[in-house]
Structure 1
C-alpha cells in the first residue's frame, strides 16, 4: 500500500483546504494538483507543489491559476 500525506492548498478558490495524495517511490507527492470546480475540469484550479521548512519533507500546494 502506498504512503499518503495531507497537504494544504494556498490561494485560489480552495485556500485553506487540504488534500490527501499518494507519495511516489521516492517519498514525494505529485508536482501539481488540479482542484476541480463545480463543472469539473472545465473550472479546475491548478496548484503547484512547494517545499517548506528546512527538512524538505513538508509541502504545500500554491495556486497558479485556472486550468483553462
Structure 2
C-alpha cells in the first residue's frame, strides 16, 4: 500500500481545505492538484506543490488559477 500525506490548499475557493494524496516511490506528492468545483471539471482549479520545509517534508498546494 502506498504512503499518503495530507496537504493544505492555499488560495482559491478551496483555501483552508486539505487533500490526502499518495506519495511516489521517492516520497514526494504529485506536483499539481486539480480541485473540482461545484460544477465538477467546469469549475476546477489548479493548485501547484510548494515546499514549506524541505528538511521536514512539509508541503502545501498553492492556487494557480482555473483549469479551464
TM-score range, shorter chain: over 0.9
Deviations 1:7-59 (A, max 9, x none): 00000000000000000000000000000001111100100000012416110
TM-score w.r.t. structure 2 length? 0.96
Consecutive unaligned residues of structure 1, counting only runs of 5 or more, are none
Structure 2 match to 1:34: 34
Q: How many residues align?
A: 68
Are residues 54 and 2 of structure 1, via their aligned partners in 2, closer, same or farther at CA, if it must alter by over 3 Å?
A: closer
Q: Structure 1 segments of 4 or more deviating over 6 A?
A: none
SS in structure 2 at match of 1:55: helix
Structure 1 match to 2:48: 48
* CA distance in structure 1 between the partners assigned to 2:37 and 2:21 by the alignment: 18
TM-score w.r.t. structure 1 length? 0.96
Consecutive unaligned residues of structure 2, counting only runs of 5 or more, are none
* CA distance in structure 2 between the partners assigned to 1:37 and 1:20 by the alignment: 17
Q: Supply the RMSD in Å over aligned alpha carbons.
A: 1.0
